[in-house]
Chain A
Amino acid sequence: MKILAPVSIETRRLMPRAWDVLAVLIVFGAVVLLAEASRELLGPLTVKTANAIALDPSHLPHYAFRTALRMLAAMAFSLLFTLTYATWAAKSRRAEMLLVPLLDILQSVPILGFISVTVVFFLSLAPGRVLGAEIAAVFAIFTSQAWNMAFSFYQSLRTVPAELTEAGKTFGLSGWTRFWRIEAPFGMPQLVWNMMMSMSGGWFFVTLSEAISVGPTTVSLPGIGSYIATAIAAKDLAAIAWAILAMLVVIIIFDQLLFRPLVAWADRFRIDSEPGDEEPESWALTMYRRSRVFDALTHPFSRLMHWSWTLKAPAGRPHVASETERRSRTGDIIWYGLVTLIGAWVTWRLVRFVGVSFRWPDLLDAGLRGMATMLRVMVLIALASVIWTPIGVYVGLRPKLTRVIQPVAQFLAAFPANLVFPVAVVLIVHWNLNPDIWLSPLMVLGTQWYILFNVIAGASALPRELKDAAANFQVKGWLWWKTVALPAVMPYYVTGAITASGGSWNAAIVAEVVSWGNKSLHAYGLGAYIADATTAGDFKRIVIGVCTMCIFVVVVNRLFWRPLYWYAERKFRLA
């Protein structure tokens, strides 16, 4: 199972279409709208939703539990979103045109910059203040998880073998039944894999969304994230160590009790498995399967689903919406009319925002800082590649070592790197280092592992016969790296590097401004720009920063990563 590259890389077209432009407009419009709403609300709403966080480690299990609950809630919403949004995009030709480019832009929005905007918004919406903050946190995690999952599921739905669909139609299965019995199971292995990856990414955001200050509004929810924030403010290294330990335990529990069982379970839906492939195993799944309690819990649900499959679509209503859709012209007119209206309205709002808030120096500042951050991301990804590619190849060619290292790499990718930032800050302060340079490694601290474990996966996928052939013909040294190892891991490496680079942009927002007690370190960059705007509660600059970063990510993806990705896929993909 591989990591999916972002939408803008998987689509083959280089030049943006009108739909891409519309997607940009809609997303930016939404950011502006939220920001404006939040700004209006912020005035009367100077509140502190700060629960006192106790640094005594005995409270950590409770905090960890709360953090885990938020993750689960967000995952549930992401799943719901995936099943509806992706299905809609895959089934309707019209919706697809807009929904897929929209996903592309959404994937590129720096969620951390966006959290501040949504927190205030949700705080004002929810009746109870704490609930509002909870919703905002869950929403932030949701935005970090949902897009990848939706895109993976959309791709699966698009590649359901025609014969399976046709078999379903021959048996007269309704669209609903076909979805649950054919399409959803087909997409399940990839979806489960992406859920796992999304969850990995999610830990980073949950810890950050629990403790947020936007201007005068301070939010701190009981959780590991706010525990860390409190520990940083109190300069308590021991508490940070405890929090790291708690996080470790939580991630391991999720892995063992949720994801391993899910992966093992979803394996049965794979139709491309080869006999030689190792079947994923999970002791927890075996336990669930044998336990009667679990059976009793799922039984009513499974009965309900089976019952729903017996329902026939009302007579006269066609099974396949997209077929009739193709024929109807009125539908087209309504759809395009609606899209044009939305586009026009959003453009008008954007123009108004720009007219009121647009200041050249701000924009120029954001652009220059974006360049600085881009330089950092590129240099660090290059450095990480130089370090981890040879190591990954070395590990991947040794199955025993791979079995040990691969889970560790996956775990490190899941571990929220921001938890160890304080350690780095202490060092930088102690040695009096230049923050412009030495804060940069923090950006790839959590994301470099994607490169490592993708390269490991690539090297271990190298067929034994190719390794044997190379050995038999005495290919060694640099010739071996040049003709065997590097080409073999190339497609895997590129996908890993894209994921790492995207994650690093996001991480810039927390990595370019860090603090320890009352000491604060700043680097020059777009991340610091957004972080500072958030602290100041300056919504205009937040919007400018978020949109600029989004554009940087999209443009870098399209102009740099996409050609590289397709070159690697074409030339180096094995069979």
Chain B
Amino acid sequence: MDTNVLLDVANVRRSFRRPGGDQLLVLDGVNLTLKEGEIVGLLGRSGSGKSTLLRLIAGLARPQGGTLSYLGTPIDGPARGIAMVFQSFALFPWLTVLENVQLGLEALGLPEKEIRTRAIEAIDLIGLDGYESAYPRELSGGMRQRVGFARALVVHPNILLMDEPFSALDVLTAENLRTDLIELWQQKKLPIKSILLVTHNIEEAVQMCDRALIFSSNPGRVTTEIRIDLAHPRDRADPKFEDCVDRIYVEMTSRRIERQRNLQPVGFIPDAPIHRSSTSALAGLIEALNAPPYHGKADLPDIASDLQLEVDELFPMTEAMQMLHLGEMEGGDVRLTPLGRHFAESENQTRKEIFQRTLIASVPFAAHIRKVLDERSSHTAPRRRFIDELEDKFTDDAADETLRAITSWGRYAELFSYDAESETFSLENPT
């Protein structure tokens, strides 16, 4: 084994038991290694199990299968030498900045004097001097996350785990903190050996990481590794940088298309759970695609940054567009179909008609709901009637999400109506 391997994750599997008793597989066959001196990014949609993996590595949860080892020893609890930075900072509001930073050292039982010097050192390093006696609530988001970093760095961990550390910050603050961190890393001022960063922001990964691991969902596993051999500081406008971003986009979308092609529905139950995307957001995306400068075709990273959409928000929408035959995916591009263009150029009522036709044709389950309502003399049916059918195939959550998606589309298309209070579908419009 390599001597400079810090962390080795092999064949890790983790599932959760649903209240109904069935197992939801979140991670399956996950492999990764982390070596000294590198920053590795873990990219994937939220819900893909990235954070679960991070918690396993931190020893906050146990896998059901596979092994995780840190410096050659299995991880069977929070390990000394692995520190974490949290998405929403996780600072203790009743402790001052200094007390928050000292907490990890106190837990190690170090002498008081050493605790003090090391805490002050970390606070200075991360640019928090002067704020030692402030409470977290007095600080801005960016400063709070700096405390989060200081608290993790002060214990001099070998591995720094970061769980979407910049996603709760505004764009400017996040950028500022990222560059500071990279600078300190490059100057070798950080008392750490390696960083594992979880993110769903592709550009963030390209900016910071030496390697990006692409994580698929359902179940989560590492599908591809992309090396990023650009010199720091990295310039977002650099064609090489853009090229890297594009490659990751292609990688992430192609797998999805492949999966969808394989899943042609048989019968009226969809073959994969449908994710929710709001019809108004969908209409907005289609309009934007139809308008200049795109004229019906766009590079995914471009339109994502243009509309300020995260990957998480964009992918369910492109999926929905494909499913409803309003758009197609090609490599890293999205293109409107003639139907999609027609939709974009129509008035509201016509849009609804288009949407209704394509919904009936392309989502058999929506047509199924309508058919049941038509056949019943009362023209009403309880939600149970349909959720049961979906639950035969999916987990409870996935069934719920799928039915919600179809319900919202069906409502927009005026295919049927739904009363959330009595949980019944009907044909009447609510009065």
B421-A289 in contact (CB<8A)? yes
A571-B94 in contact (CB<8A)? yes
A473-B107 in contact (CB<8A)? yes
Query: Would you call A476 an interface residue if the criterion is a C-beta within 8 Å of the partner chain's C-beta atoms?
Result: yes
- Among the stretches A2-10, A89-97, A460-468, the one at the interface with B is A460-468
Query: Would you call B60 an interface residue if the criterion is a C-beta within 8 Å of the partner chain's C-beta atoms?
Result: yes
Please, which residues of chain B bring their CB within 8 A of the CB of A357?
none
The complex places the Cα of A484 from the Cα of B106 at a distance, in Å, of 13
Q: Which of A290, A465, A575 has the most chain B CB within a 10 Å cutoff? A: A465
Please, which residues of chain A bring their CB within 8 A of the CB of B151?
469, 473
Q: How many residues of B contact A (CB 8 A)?
A: 31
Select A472's contact among B58, B94, B421, beta carbons within 8 Å: B58
Please, which residues of chain A bring their CB within 8 A of the CB of B80?
474
A575-B422 in contact (CB<8A)? no
Q: Which of B87, B91, B92 has the most chain A CB within a 10 Å cutoff? A: B92
Q: Which of A463, A465, A474, A574 has the most chain B CB within a 10 Å cutoff? A: A474
Query: Would you call B103 an interface residue if the criterion is a C-beta within 8 Å of the partner chain's C-beta atoms?
Result: yes
A463 shortest CB reach to chain B, Å: 7
Contact with B along A562-575 (1 / 0, CB 8 A): 00000000011111
B93-A572 in contact (CB<8A)? yes
B140 shortest CB reach to chain A, Å: 14
Select A483's contact among B103, B108, B155, beta carbons within 8 Å: B103
Which residues 45-96 in B have Cβ within 8 Å of A in the complex? 55, 58-60, 78, 80, 82-84, 86-95
The complex places the Cα of A487 from the Cα of B103 at a distance, in Å, of 14
Given A289-B421, A465-B86, check contact A475 B94 (CB 8 Å).
no
Please, which residues of chain A bring their CB within 8 A of the CB of B421?
289
The complex places the Cα of A472 from the Cα of B103 at a distance, in Å, of 11
A468-B83 in contact (CB<8A)? no
Given A474-B104, A483-B95, A483-B103, check contact A469 B78 (CB 8 Å).
no
Select B78's contact among A463, A472, A571, A572, beta carbons within 8 Å: A472
Q: Which B residue's beta carbon lies closest to that of A468?
A: B60
Query: Would you call A234 an interface residue if the criterion is a C-beta within 8 Å of the partner chain's C-beta atoms?
Result: no
Please, which residues of chain A bring their CB within 8 A of the CB of B94?
487, 571-572
Query: Would you call B385 an interface residue if the criterion is a C-beta within 8 Å of the partner chain's C-beta atoms?
Result: no
Interface SS of chain A: helix, strand, loop or mixed? helix
Which residues 151-200 in B have Cβ within 8 Å of A in the complex? 151, 155
A468-B93 in contact (CB<8A)? no
Please, which residues of chain B bring their CB within 8 A of the CB of A286?
423
Query: Would you call B137 an interface residue if the criterion is a C-beta within 8 Å of the partner chain's C-beta atoms?
Result: yes
Please, which residues of chain B bring their CB within 8 A of the CB of A463?
88, 90
Query: Would you call A471 an interface residue if the criterion is a C-beta within 8 Å of the partner chain's C-beta atoms?
Result: yes
B422-A473 in contact (CB<8A)? no
Given A468-B55, A468-B58, A575-B137, check contact A473 B103 (CB 8 Å).
yes
The complex places the Cα of A575 from the Cα of B80 at a distance, in Å, of 29
The complex places the Cα of A289 from the Cα of B424 at a distance, in Å, of 11
B111 shortest CB reach to chain A, Å: 15
Please, which residues of chain B bring their CB within 8 A of the CB of A476?
107
A474-B78 in contact (CB<8A)? yes
The complex places the Cα of A475 from the Cα of B103 at a distance, in Å, of 8
B60-A471 in contact (CB<8A)? yes
Given A474-B78, A483-B95, A574-B93, check contact A469 B84 (CB 8 Å).
yes
Given A471-B78, A472-B83, A473-B155, check contact A487 B92 (CB 8 Å).
yes
The complex places the Cα of A475 from the Cα of B94 at a distance, in Å, of 16
The complex places the Cα of A472 from the Cα of B57 at a distance, in Å, of 10
Query: Would you call A479 an interface residue if the criterion is a C-beta within 8 Å of the partner chain's C-beta atoms?
Result: yes
The complex places the Cα of A575 from the Cα of B139 at a distance, in Å, of 12
Please, which residues of chain A bring their CB within 8 A of the CB of B137?
575
B90-A473 in contact (CB<8A)? no
Count of A-B contacts judged by CB separation below 8 Å: 69
The complex places the Cα of A572 from the Cα of B108 at a distance, in Å, of 25
Please, which residues of chain A bring their CB within 8 A of the CB of B83?
472-473
A398 shortest CB reach to chain B, Å: 15
Please, which residues of chain B bring their CB within 8 A of the CB of A289?
421-422
Q: Which A residue's beta carbon lies closest to that of B104?
A: A473
Select A484's contact among B59, B87, B92, B99, beta carbons within 8 Å: B92
Contact with A along B99-132 (1 / 0, CB 8 A): 1000110111000000000000000000000000
The complex places the Cα of A469 from the Cα of B104 at a distance, in Å, of 9
A479-B106 in contact (CB<8A)? yes
Contact with B along A370-394 (1 / 0, CB 8 A): 0000000000000000000000000
The complex places the Cα of A391 from the Cα of B53 at a distance, in Å, of 31
The complex places the Cα of A63 from the Cα of B344 at a distance, in Å, of 70
A433 shortest CB reach to chain B, Å: 42
The complex places the Cα of A476 from the Cα of B99 at a distance, in Å, of 16
A397 shortest CB reach to chain B, Å: 14
B105 shortest CB reach to chain A, Å: 9
A472-B93 in contact (CB<8A)? no
B94 shortest CB reach to chain A, Å: 4
Given A290-B422, A472-B78, A474-B78, check contact A479 B107 (CB 8 Å).
yes
The complex places the Cα of A471 from the Cα of B421 at a distance, in Å, of 42
Q: Which B residue's beta carbon lies closest to that of A477?
A: B107
Contact with B along A109-148 (1 / 0, CB 8 A): 0000000000000000000000000000000000000000
The complex places the Cα of A476 from the Cα of B107 at a distance, in Å, of 7
Please, which residues of chain B bring their CB within 8 A of the CB of A473?
78, 83, 103-104, 107, 151, 155
A385 shortest CB reach to chain B, Å: 19
A468-B103 in contact (CB<8A)? no
Please, which residues of chain A bring their CB within 8 A of the CB of B86?
465, 468-469
The complex places the Cα of A61 from the Cα of B411 at a distance, in Å, of 49
The complex places the Cα of A465 from the Cα of B94 at a distance, in Å, of 15
The complex places the Cα of A471 from the Cα of B104 at a distance, in Å, of 10
Please, which residues of chain A bring their CB within 8 A of the CB of B108?
474
Q: Which A residue's beta carbon lies closest to that of B58?
A: A472
Please, which residues of chain A bring their CB within 8 A of the CB of B88?
463, 465
The complex places the Cα of A290 from the Cα of B94 at a distance, in Å, of 48
Q: Which B residue's beta carbon lies closest to that of A482?
A: B106
Given A474-B80, A483-B95, A575-B137, check contact A469 B90 (CB 8 Å).
yes
Q: Which B residue's beta carbon lies closest to that of A476?
A: B107
A56 shortest CB reach to chain B, Å: 45
B155 shortest CB reach to chain A, Å: 7
A167 shortest CB reach to chain B, Å: 22
Given A468-B58, A575-B137, check contact A474 B107 (CB 8 Å).
yes
Q: Which A residue's beta carbon lies closest to that of B86?
A: A465
Which residues 461-505 in A have Cβ within 8 Å of B in the complex? 463, 465-466, 468-469, 471-476, 479, 483-484, 487
A465-B87 in contact (CB<8A)? yes
Please, which residues of chain B bring their CB within 8 A of the CB of A484?
92
Q: Which B residue's beta carbon lies closest to that of A572?
A: B94
Please, which residues of chain B bring their CB within 8 A of the CB of A575?
93, 137
The complex places the Cα of A61 from the Cα of B94 at a distance, in Å, of 52
The complex places the Cα of A216 from the Cα of B34 at a distance, in Å, of 87
Please, which residues of chain B bring their CB within 8 A of the CB of A479?
106-107
Select B92's contact among A468, A472, A483, beta carbons within 8 Å: A483
The complex places the Cα of A484 from the Cα of B92 at a distance, in Å, of 8
Please, which residues of chain B bring their CB within 8 A of the CB of A573?
93
B22 shortest CB reach to chain A, Å: 18
B90-A466 in contact (CB<8A)? yes
A159 shortest CB reach to chain B, Å: 21
Please, which residues of chain B bring their CB within 8 A of the CB of A483?
92, 95, 99, 103
A292 shortest CB reach to chain B, Å: 11
Please, which residues of chain A bring their CB within 8 A of the CB of B99?
483
Which residues 440-477 in A have Cβ within 8 Å of B in the complex? 463, 465-466, 468-469, 471-476
Q: Which 6 pairs across A and B sit closest by C-beta, in order of nearness?
A: A473-B104, A465-B90, A469-B90, A487-B94, A474-B107, A475-B107
Interface residues of A (CB under 8 A from B): 286, 289-290, 463, 465-466, 468-469, 471-476, 479, 483-484, 487, 571-575
A-B contact list, 7 entries, CB within 8 Å: A465-B86, A466-B90, A468-B60, A468-B84, A469-B92, A471-B58, A476-B107
11 additional A-B pairs beyond A472-B78, A473-B155, beta carbons within 8 Å, are A289-B422, A465-B89, A466-B92, A468-B86, A473-B103, A473-B107, A475-B106, A484-B92, A487-B92, A574-B93, A575-B137
